[in-house]
Amino acid sequence: MKKKINRILILITVPAILLTAVLITYLYYGLFKAQILDELKSYSYVAGDCTDLQALRELGEELEPAGVRITLIDGDGTVRIDNMADSAQMENHSDRPEVQEALEDGEGSDVRESETLSVSTYYYAVRLADGRLLRTAKDAGSLYSVLLRALPMLCVILVVLLALCFMVAHYTTGRLVRPIERLAANLDGETETSGYPELEPLLNTIRSQHADILKSAQVRQEFTANVSHELKTPLTSISGYAELIETGMASEEDTVRFAHGIRSNANRLLTLINDTIRLSELDDGDQRMDTERLNLYEMAANCVEMLRMSAEKHDVTITLNGYECYITGNRQMIDELLYNLCDNAIRYNNAGGSVTVEVYVRREGAVLSVKDTGIGIPPEHQERIFERFYRVDKSRSKSTGGTGLGLAIVKHIIVRHHARMELHSEVGKGTEITVQFPHGTGL
């Protein structure tokens, strides 16, 4: 950015300086030319005052050393007197621009280049009362020579100005960019501003993205630490059981028990790994999600049937209420959502309790509600149970095969389906989780 601003400033300044230099030279030349013509004009006044040809000749001789040429020309262009050449040898002057101009307007001037580029001849002609013309001329520097003479000074000025420009450009860009650099180094500082109101919206976006990145990095790091920890426990148990069998210390009866321990811990590991893989798949927001029209009631009925055995094992009754209604969604994800909610409602229930799954339609769209008469969730935990690995009662979760990832998966699925979720829970009374699918879903 600095380089670009510097380049732009210099790109603007260098041509501006060059143009100014050329214009000043041209202006200076204009003044120089006007001064010489004025000088010639005053000579011609003096010459015009000569009463006869002799006096004019004498004046011519006088002015010759000063390089001033005086020519008297007849109205038809014939040269009568010239103080620097033999007038008899001179050709007719009627075609000279200053002569033509003077014949027409009373006075005329011209500047003609000589063979050497550096010298020009300046002419001034005036019509006398008798119709003859008096022309004065002088050699002086040409535009080219004026430019050449001014060149060293111009170069010095140019170099000084350019150096100044570089310095100003450097200083200005530094000043412009410094607040942004300071900001980049201190993005976390909430009070830090760019000093440019135009940049504030961009800054806010960057800040919130930066905060998101930091948050997600932290979540990832915590997740990795948690996963490692969760994997370690069953693996340690498996290793312990295997060691006991290996040493031959276990009786036949124990071996069966240990094998069971190994199997249940291995299953735990598998569930954990599956849930972790599922979460990371859901985390990948770019992944395409195939959707179709789903009969929510039918899917809930299947889920209830699938979990009936588990419910019986926990001495819990599970029932489905409602009627057929449809949503647009991903079949696998909705299956997972139903399973996780119903499974939790059974696992965190009391013996003799019940789970009621309900599917119905509201004005806003299809609704799924899973209600249990279980242990409930204390208010201070209600916000956090959707976090990965967050459990209210860790031992209960583990003993019933929980991984602490079920509700995190549910939350992802809900977001992906643009649905809303509500949780009502009271300790000792039970929990109800309601999922409101978006508008346009229903019958």
* 377 is a contact residue toward ligand ADP (CB under 6 A): yes
- Tally of CA atoms within 13 A in the half-sphere of 352 that contains its CB: 1
Instruction: Please compute Rg for the chain using Cα positions.
Output: 51
- For residues 247 and 235, what is the distance between their CA atoms, to the nearest angstrom? 18
Closest to ligand ADP by CB, 56 vs 303, is 303
How far, CA to CA in Å, does 207 sit from each of 203, 211, 265, 360? 6, 6, 44, 42
Identify the burial level of 80 via C-beta atoms within 10 angstroms of its C-beta, where 0-12 means exposed, 13-18 middle and 19 or more buried.
middle
| Bridge partners, residue 120, by sequence | 113, 140
* 234 is a contact residue toward ligand ADP (CB under 6 A): no
Minimum CB separation of residue 350 from ligand ADP in Å reads 10
x-or-dash pattern for ligand ADP, window 282-321, by CB under 6 A? ----------------------------------------
Question: Among 37, 40, 406, 414, which residue sits at the site for ligand ADP (rule: CB under 6 A)?
Answer: 406
- The angle formed by the CA atoms of residues 80, 83 and 85, to the nearest 5 degrees, is 80
* 354 is a contact residue toward ligand ADP (CB under 6 A): no
| Bridge partners, residue 72, by sequence | 81, 134
Applying CB under 6 A, the span of 165-173, 186-194, 237-245, 399-407 interacting with ligand ADP comes to 399-407
Question: Among 68, 183, 238, 345, which residue sits at the site for ligand ADP (rule: CB under 6 A)?
Answer: 345
Residue with tokens 């299947």: 302
Applying CB under 6 A, the span of 282-290, 301-309, 344-352, 435-443 interacting with ligand ADP comes to 344-352
Closest to ligand ADP by CB, 253 vs 380, is 380
x-or-dash pattern for ligand ADP, window 355-374, by CB under 6 A? -----------------x-x
Query: Coil, helix or strand for 438?
Result: coil
CB 386 within 8 A of CB 356: no
Question: Among 375, 413, 419, 435, which residue sits at the site for ligand ADP (rule: CB under 6 A)?
Answer: 375
Question: Among 402, 414, 419, 436, which residue sits at the site for ligand ADP (rule: CB under 6 A)?
Answer: 402
CB 78 within 8 A of CB 88: no
* 339 is a contact residue toward ligand ADP (CB under 6 A): no
Closest to ligand ADP by CB, 265 vs 397, is 397
| Bridge partners, residue 111, by sequence | 122
Secondary structure element (H or E) that encloses residue 13, with its range: helix 2-48
Closest to ligand ADP by CB, 243 vs 426, is 426
CB 297 within 8 A of CB 359: yes
Closest to ligand ADP by CB, 353 vs 365, is 353
Closest to ligand ADP by CB, 136 vs 436, is 436
x-or-dash pattern for ligand ADP, window 378-397, by CB under 6 A? -------x----xxxx---x
Minimum CB separation of residue 394 from ligand ADP in Å reads 7
Applying CB under 6 A, the span of 43-51, 204-212, 241-249, 338-346 interacting with ligand ADP comes to 338-346
* 79 is a contact residue toward ligand ADP (CB under 6 A): no
Could you tell me the two tokens for 51?
Answer: 């009463």
Could you tell me the two tokens for 106?
Answer: 């009373």
Question: Among 344, 369, 373, 436, which residue sits at the site for ligand ADP (rule: CB under 6 A)?
Answer: 344
| Residue 437: DSSP 8-state | P
Query: Coil, helix or strand for 280?
Result: helix
DSSP string for residues in 36-101: HHHHHHHHHHHHHT--SHHHHHHHHHHHGGGTEEEEEE-TTS-EEEESSS-GGGPPP-TTSHHHHH
Identify the burial level of 185 via C-beta atoms within 10 angstroms of its C-beta, where 0-12 means exposed, 13-18 middle and 19 or more buried.
exposed
Question: Among 142, 330, 356, 431, which residue sits at the site for ligand ADP (rule: CB under 6 A)?
Answer: 431
H and E: helices and strands count for the chain: 11, 12
Secondary structure element (H or E) that encloses residue 345, with its range: helix 331-347
Applying CB under 6 A, the span of 55-63, 143-151, 209-217, 375-383 interacting with ligand ADP comes to 375-383
Binding residues for ligand ADP restricted to 189-218, rule: CB under 6 A: none
- For residues 61 and 172, what is the distance between their CA atoms, to the nearest angstrom? 64
CB 102 within 8 A of CB 84: no
* 441 is a contact residue toward ligand ADP (CB under 6 A): no
Minimum CB separation of residue 213 from ligand ADP in Å reads 25
Minimum CB separation of residue 296 from ligand ADP in Å reads 20
Contact residues toward ligand ADP (CB under 6 A) are 340, 344-345, 348, 372, 374-377, 385, 390-393, 397, 402-408, 431
